[in-house]
Amino acid sequence: MHKQGDILKKKWIPLTAGLLLAAASVPYFVAATRFFFHPENLPQSVGGTRIWAPSGVVIWLPFLMPLMLGMVSAFLRRTWGLVVACAVIPLVFTVVLSPWTETSIAKALFFSTPLSYGTCRVLEFVTYMFMLAAAVLAVISRKTAFVGRESASEYLYGPPKWWRGP
């Protein structure tokens, strides 16, 4: 029989990872909704035209969806590998898309909020640190805190739980 302290020790790490991913998704959500509901004129350096309203959603959805999926997976304490992958995917997208600096979340926040560019850069750095911390927490607690199957592929393609036995 489990003691209350043991359960809390096992549950706080995935909960913290989920909260970190939720906090990391906030800047992307703010940028996407701001550009969707209030499309603006871009500066002359990036084209100088009025943006198409769904462009914020199109640009930020590949960043936002993995974070939301990882958050749900962490809250449900399932598939720690999915939590790690979903925390790392936006970072990989950021590195791959770095030649197009307009996909930087700091620039998006700078254009869509009244914050200074330095503040937006700090928010971007903190967002990346939240993603890395969530991935590290998921890896550290993979044996104790996450229940069920080991990976998303085993969940999708593995045998049912009743087939495997106790």
Total domains present in the chain: 1
The pLDDT tens digits for 16-73 are 888 999 999 998 888 888 777 776 655 566 555 666 667 667 777 888 899 999 898 8
The pLDDT tens digits for 102-123 are 667 887 778 777 888 899 889 9
pTM, two decimal places: 0.72
Question: Could you give the percent of the chain with pLDDT greater than 90?
Answer: 16
Is pLDDT above 60 for 82?
yes
Residue 128's pLDDT band (cuts 50, 70, 90): very high
Task: Compute the Cα dihedral for 45, 49, 50, 55 and give only its sign.
Answer: negative
Q: What pLDDT does residue 42 have? A: 58
Name the burial class of residue 130, with classes exposed (0-12), middle (13-18) and buried (19+) by CB atoms within 10 angstroms of its CB: buried
Q: Which domain holds residue 49?
A: 4-164
- The rounded distance, in Å, linking the Cα atoms of 80 and 84 is 6
The pLDDT tens digits for 146-165 are 765 555 566 666 666 666 55
* Pairwise pLDDT comparison (150 vs 89), residue with the higher score: 89
